[in-house]
A and B are shown apart, each in its own frame.
Chain A
Amino acid sequence: DTAVSQTPKYLVTQMGNDKSIKCEQNLGHDTMYWYKQDSKKFLKIMFSYNNKELIINETVPNRFSPKSPDKAHLNLHINSLELGDSAVYFCASSRNRGLGFRSSYEQYFGPGTRLTVT
């Protein structure tokens, strides 16, 4: 059973198009994330949702809009795609944020979606 799955695995599209990437986790986690890995392999957080509520929104263009229909799903919709959006996008999930000092949970990542904008 795949813990964190993403679809599609590859996405090739033209500039100006709108596309979506889907993510699902079957781990029962409350928190989900989107990360972007650029051509230089630098990984950076984009968004985080906890119980369907947006809790992290890094400086990402508002062409990117995450949507969490339920705790197990976090989709990423991108409007008006640009060449610079070409990257690998990773979804991840983790248990809820620790409420105590001694809480810190690992994140489980999906296999990634390679987006190529031409």
Chain B
Amino acid sequence: DAKTTQPNSMESNEEEPVHLPCNHSTISGTDYIHWYRQLPSQGPEYVIHGLTSNVNNRMASLAIAEDRKSSTLILHRATLRDAAVYYCILRYTGFQKLVFGTGTRLLVSP
């Protein structure tokens, strides 16, 4: 399974943008980049995913480097509710399993 590397933790202030980085230098051409988050005492929650182009949805934006060896999850205005562990995961198209790493714990201060 291709690996991802994320910082252990990041801090942000409420209402500020947050950029969560992820390195995946061994990504293959068929790997999608998925982001999930896990709020305290809850199950993981899908955030966004992409293959090559940048993606936007109501929760976040995903910026993918041209060589696809890194990506950044962007929360445009952090809220207290965004405090969670964010996981960057590479997913093969032919396989269904999600291989979770240790993720980035995001702390949001009022």
Contacts and interface: CB of A to CB of B under 8 A. Distances in A.
A88 to B, nearest CB: 9
A56 B96 contact: yes
Contact of A43 (B45, B95, B100): B100
B43 A112 contact: yes
Contacts, number: 64
B85 interface: yes
Given A111-B42, A112-B42, A106 B49 contact: yes
Given A108-B46, A112-B42, A48 B97 contact: yes
Given A90-B44, A108-B46, A111-B42, A44 B96 contact: no
B43 A31 contact: no
Contacts of A4: 43
B46 A44 contact: no
Interface string B60-92: 000000000000000000000000010100010
Interface residues of A, number: 31
Contacts of B99: 45
B46 A107 contact: yes
A75 interface: no
A47 to B, nearest CB: 10
A41 B41 CA distance: 11
A58 to B, nearest CB: 8
Contact of B98 (A42, A98, A103, A107): A107
Closest 7 CB pairs of A and B: A109-B43, A106-B46, A43-B100, A104-B32, A45-B97, A109-B44, A90-B43
